Structure 1
Amino acid sequence: MSVTTPTPEPTPEDVSRGLAALEHLLAEEAARRASRPPVMPGETRRVRQLRAEVAEAHALADLQDDDTPLLLDTPKVRKRRKAAHEAARLHALAQDPTMRAWQAARMRRLLITAALVSLTLALAWSTAGVQAFAADDAPAWSPAWVFAWLVEPFLSLALLVIVGARAYTATRGQPITAPALIRIEWLFLALTVGMNAWPYLPLVAEHFSFSRLVLHILGAIVAVAIVTALPIILAAFTGLDHGPLTGPTYRANTGPGRTDITALTAHAQRLIDDGALPAAPSANRIQRTLRCGMDSARAVRDALTEGETR
């Protein structure tokens, strides 16, 4: 025996929802039919497809005429624009006289360092040649042979002192041009070249070899070239015109004048009367408050003290 459950009657809300869903479905179907191109009598399916493609092409052509998407910057364009803006600012900064002066000073320091290192290596290269000249066939490790290794180092140190002094003063715009110092410099260079070349000169060497001669005087030649060229290079750097500098300017330190001290003392007295300064302020307090030099602050303190004792 089967028991059937009676179907409940729909409520008014269920009826309303069903009618609304039916109306929505009918509206979608009507819109779908309206969007379809009208079917002409005798049109086939291929004709309808071609008509739809033509309509789509017209719609795309209308959208392609709008250049708005092309006006937007892509990430790559923004990145390139940022790099170009940075390059333009760096170029403008490089033209600033202060930056040009800094670049010149940096390059000058680099060239001086490279020249002195090269000069040191060149003199070290010639040490072996000078030792062979100074030892004069002395037995190995004998006192004469050992001390012969010290000839070139102390000669090179003396030469480096002169070259370094001339290089430094040239960077300060005051090159040393004393004839005596220049003659001493060339004397050291001539001794270095002569001691390196003498054992290998024609009529001196048992078997003359031009390549061997050049190899032994190479260090001395490099040293002569650096000593000759370095002052010229530094003089050229000193004469560079970077344009008007835009950096901060400085004034020379001047001692406190009586007029300034009088004005500062009067100002300090007004601050004391207003309570901004104590009755007997220290020099440090006066300096911080008046923003003056320590000498002026001491003078103001002494003037205030003298005024109180009167």
Structure 2
Amino acid sequence: MSTTSPVPEPTPEDISRGLAEIERHLSASAPTAPVLRGEVEPAGEPVSGETRRVQRLRAEVAEAHQLARLQDDDAPLMVDTPKVRKRRKAANEAARLHALAQDPAMRAWQAARMRRVLVTAGMVSLALALGWSTAGVQSFAADGAPQWSPGWLFAWFVEPFMSLALLVVVGARAYLGTRGTPLNHPKLVRIEYLFLGLTLGMNAWPHLPGVADDFTVSRLVLHVLGPIVAVAVVTALPIILAAFSDLDHAGRGGLTGLTYGANADDPVRETGPDVTALVERARTLIATGELPPHPSAYRLQRSLRCGMDDARAVRDALADLP
């Protein structure tokens, strides 16, 4: 007959040791918490016993450290945004256009284009004004002839052949003016005003007080409107073209400075070579009829584009010349 030895009762140390072994076994076999989207996986091996909350906090701290290091880099601030690039491009274009506008060749091209536009507009306005007066001239030239009679038909050609002759003179002066050679011969000027005077007279005569059966101011104004516009265009166009020919595209223009001569007894006194050239130019303008024989200093200043002192010197020089 066998006897069994009694099982010893576990001590508290044995119980603590067993619980520790069970805890290590559970920690080693527990599944790792998945990393959520947007979270940074913590660096290094997870410490045994960490919960999911601790691991998420560790990932958040690691992400904050990385963001703090990246925020110290100013490279993103130095990159131009699309709006900044657009503004810089516009500013650069404006600066280049301004520099181009100061170029003498560009200024000459702009002046030539504007002069061409003005000449074209003036000639079209002149042609329309003369066309407007055709009916009035036809009524004057027909002199009550029956409609569709030879006299009535030929009366329609009076204004066109006068207008063509006038346009020949005005066109020649305009073209030469654009080439820097103003044509201001007194005979041509008288021819222009002769044709314009005839057109004005033939339009206005049948509608003048005492001639018209039923006089009205509005009818008279309507019939003289075309000739008046033609006179204005013919008078203004040469002056405009002369101003264009005197443009200084290099930007060196301005009033002529005061000049003084050493000999006060000289006819061109208190002058220099520039004023001597102004005197010669004034004599040329007088010969062509653009200036009167004895122009005033103010008229000389406007025509020669010089200072008032030089204009007075030129006036005095012209008065002393034979």
Q: TM-score, normalised by structure 2?
A: 0.58
Specify the alignment match of 2:87 in structure 1: 80
Q: Which has the higher Rg, Structure 1 or Structure 2?
A: 2
Q: Distance in 2 between matches of 1:155 and 1:56?
A: 95
SS of 1:150 mapped into structure 2: helix
Match of 1:104 in 2: 111
Match in the other structure for 1:287 = none
Cα distance, 1:61 vs structure 2: 6.3
Report the equivalent of 1:258: none
Q: 1:56 to 1:231 in 2, by over 3 A?
A: same
1:242-253 alignment, distance < 5 Å: 242-243=249-250
Query: Is the Cα contact below 8 Å between 2:42 and 2:58 reproduced in 1?
Result: no
Q: Runs of 5+ in structure 1 lacking a partner?
A: 1-21, 39-44, 246-310
1:221 aligns with 228
What's the secondary structure of 1:83's corresponding residue? helix
Count of aligned residue pairs for this structure pair: 217
Moved more, 206-215 or 144-153: 206-215
Instruction: Give runs of aligned pairs for residues 227-242 of structure 1, distance below 5 A.
Output: 227-242=234-249
Aligned counterparts of 2:72 and 2:222: Cα–Cα separation in 1: 78
Alpha-carbon distance in 1 for matches of 2:224, 2:73: 79
CA distance, structure 2, for counterparts of residue 65 and residue 204 of structure 1: 98
C-alpha distance in 1 between matches for 2:64 and 2:223? 86
Q: Per-residue CA shift, 1:145-165, capped at 9, x if unaligned?
A: 101100000000010011011
**Structure with more helix by fraction:** 1
1:141 matched to 2:148? The reply is yes
Q: What is the RMSD computed on CA atoms of the aligned residues?
A: 3.6
* Percentage of identical aligned residues: 72
> In structure 2, which of residues 176, 184, 192 is the aligned counterpart of residue 169 of structure 1?
176
In the superposition, relative to structure 1, how do residues 162 and 60 fare at CA in structure 2: closer, same or farther (>3 Å)? same
In structure 2, list runs of 5 or more residues that go unmatched: 1-27, 48-52, 253-322
Shift in Å, 1:56? 7.0
Q: 2:217 aligns with which of 210, 213, 234?
A: 210
Aligned to 2:127: 120
Report the equivalent of 1:89: 96
CA distance in 2, matches of 1:244, 1:115: 28
Per-residue deviation at 1:76?
3.7
Please give the alpha-carbon distance, in whole angstroms, between the structure 2 residues aligned to 1:33 and 1:240: 80
